Amino acid sequence: MSEPTVGGPPLGEADPFRPRAAPGASGDGSAPERASNGAVPPLPGREPTPPDDGAPHVVTRRHRRRASRRRNVIEWVLVIVGAILVAVLVRTFLVQAFRIPSESMSPTLEKGDRVIVNRLSYKLHDVNRGDIVVFSRPPGLPAGADQPEDLIKRVIALPGETVQTKDGSIYIDNRKLNEPYLPKGTSSRDIDTPVTVPAGHVWVMGDNRANSADSRVFGPIDTDTIVGRAFLRIWPLNRLGTL
């Protein structure tokens, strides 16, 4: 019968109770040594750690600030350019502000008032009686020094209608025209014989009948010369309102 052995396992056999060394550690259990360039030897299945040479690996705060400023400048340039383009398109196709140059539309519009004109109105519908319109100065009324190229008047008669003054009132096709926008007692004169408005034209007059160079002077105007319909007075503020 054999005697029990005392001590560790037989030579050449692993001791099942001895802790195993960590992967990559030296046989005596110490930490892995660094290479001469500072890199740590790779563990099995892992990439080697790069040497600590002091090179930056992230964008500095200064670079981030510069990039942010560049983005802000580009954004503001785009905003300004876009605003200018929108303003040009609106002014060209939609609305435009005009300054009243004279007293010919008083008291509805006084000299120096500013109005907004809808340039799109008459592309959508015909001109209506009573509309206040801005139009190019007609050939029958040449512009003098410092006089505007555009005029503003009220539409009185439409294509094919006859217009005439009788007893201080306007008559359209022999029927008296009701003009509630005129001050009480206003007298309309100087159209003693009926005038027929040709096709594609309208008859315009200022509300200040005694002091207005209008169709009584230069005749009916071509509707193609109409810039648009004035619909809003924006200045002065105490007279802000629709027309």
Residue whose entry in the numeric block shows the structure tokens 């315009």: 204
Among residues 47, 77, 93, the one where a domain terminates is: 93
Q: Is the domain of 101 the same as that of 87?
A: no
Q: Is the domain of 76 the same as that of 139?
A: no
> Would residue 51 count as lying in a domain?
no
CA distance 41 to 24: 8
> Would residue 83 count as lying in a domain?
yes
CA-CA distances (angstroms) from residue 149 to 141, 143, 146, 152, 172? 10, 7, 9, 10, 29
Q: Any long-range contacts for 20-23 (C-beta under 8 Å, 24+ apart)?
A: none
> Would residue 39 count as lying in a domain?
no
pLDDT score recorded for residue 81: 82
pLDDT score recorded for residue 125: 93
Secondary structure letter of residue 217 according to DSSP: H
Query: Can you give the residue range of the structural domain that contains 206?
Result: 97-242
Domain count, the chain: 2
Arithmetic mean of pLDDT, 66-93: 78
For residue 134, give the amino acid letter: V
pLDDT in tens, 15-57: 554 555 545 444 454 445 555 545 455 556 555 555 555 545 5
**Please, are residues 118 and 129 in contact by the beta-carbon 8 Å criterion?**
no
pLDDT score recorded for residue 151: 96
> Would residue 167 count as lying in a domain?
yes
> Would residue 209 count as lying in a domain?
yes
Among residues 74, 93, 112, the one where a domain terminates is: 93
CA distance 35 to 19: 27
| In the chain, % of residues over pLDDT 90 | 56
Q: What is the helix (H) or strand (E) element at residue 169, kind and residue range?
A: strand 169-172
Q: Is the domain of 168 the same as that of 217?
A: yes
> Would residue 65 count as lying in a domain?
yes
Q: Is the domain of 133 the same as that of 219?
A: yes
Q: Is the domain of 131 the same as that of 233?
A: yes
Checking if the pLDDT of 118 tops 90, the result is yes
Among residues 67, 93, 119, the one where a domain terminates is: 93
Tell me the DSSP string of 45-98. TSPPPPP------S--HHHHHHHHHHHHHHHHHHHHHHHHHHHHHHHHHTEEEE
Identify the sign of the CA torsion 13, 16, 19, 24.
Answer: positive
* Alpha helices per DSSP H over the chain: 61-93, 121-124, 215-218
Model's pTM, two decimal places?
0.66
**Please, are residues 199 and 159 in contact by the beta-carbon 8 Å criterion?**
yes
> Would residue 38 count as lying in a domain?
no
110 versus 76: which is more confidently predicted? 110
Q: Is the domain of 65 the same as that of 184?
A: no
Arithmetic mean of pLDDT, 192-198: 97
Q: Is the domain of 72 the same as that of 164?
A: no
In CATH, what number is assigned to the domain containing residue 126?
Answer: 2.10.109.10
Is 153 tagged catalytic?
yes
Q: Is the domain of 76 the same as that of 159?
A: no
The single residue of 26, 68, 111, 153 carrying the catalytic annotation is 153
> Would residue 45 count as lying in a domain?
no
CA distance 24 to 35: 13
The single residue of 102, 104, 121, 212 carrying the catalytic annotation is 104
pLDDT score recorded for residue 140: 83
